[in-house]
């Protein structure tokens, strides 16, 4: 199945505390991660039926994504983003997912606003 061009579900600013990072203190103390997700899928069936069963339930998706962020620690946010994208693609209706993982408290010795990794995975 492919998504219709332009059909997307977007979830931005999903915040959860995780213990990801290369350094021991990151794993011990944890920090906030912010996740943005764009799902590409055909939304016409849901638009016709007006039934949540015909689309991706974004509340349930948010629960699954938070479980990944708060779950098993990884060294790199690239790895975390890959796991989150796989969770998005677990729903067979999703043709592609773009995931951005923000690490606003990354251990950088200079003033900065954000560090993020974005990846797109297609079926």
Distance CA 18, CA 41 (A): 29
CB 35, CB 69: distance < 8 Å: yes
Catalytic residue of the set 56, 68, 96, 103 = 103
Tell me, yes or no, if 103 is annotated catalytic. Answer: yes
> Would you please indicate which residues are annotated as catalytic (active-site) residues?
103
């Amino acid at each position: 199945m492919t998504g219709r061009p332009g059909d997307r579900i977007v979830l931005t600013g999903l915040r959860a505390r995780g213990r990801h990072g290369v350094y021991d203190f990151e794993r011990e103390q944890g920090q906030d991660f912010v996740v943005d997700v764009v799902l590409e899928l055909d939304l016409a069936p849901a638009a016709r039926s007006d039934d949540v069963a015909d689309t991706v339930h974004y509340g349930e998706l948010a629960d699954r994504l938070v479980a990944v962020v708060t779950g098993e620690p990884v060294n790199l946010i690239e790895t975390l983003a890959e796991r989150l994208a796989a969770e998005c693609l677990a729903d067979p209706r999703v043709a592609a997912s773009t995931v951005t993982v923000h690490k606003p408290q990354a251990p950088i010795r200079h003033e900065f606003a954000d560090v993020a990794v974005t990846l797109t995975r297609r079926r």
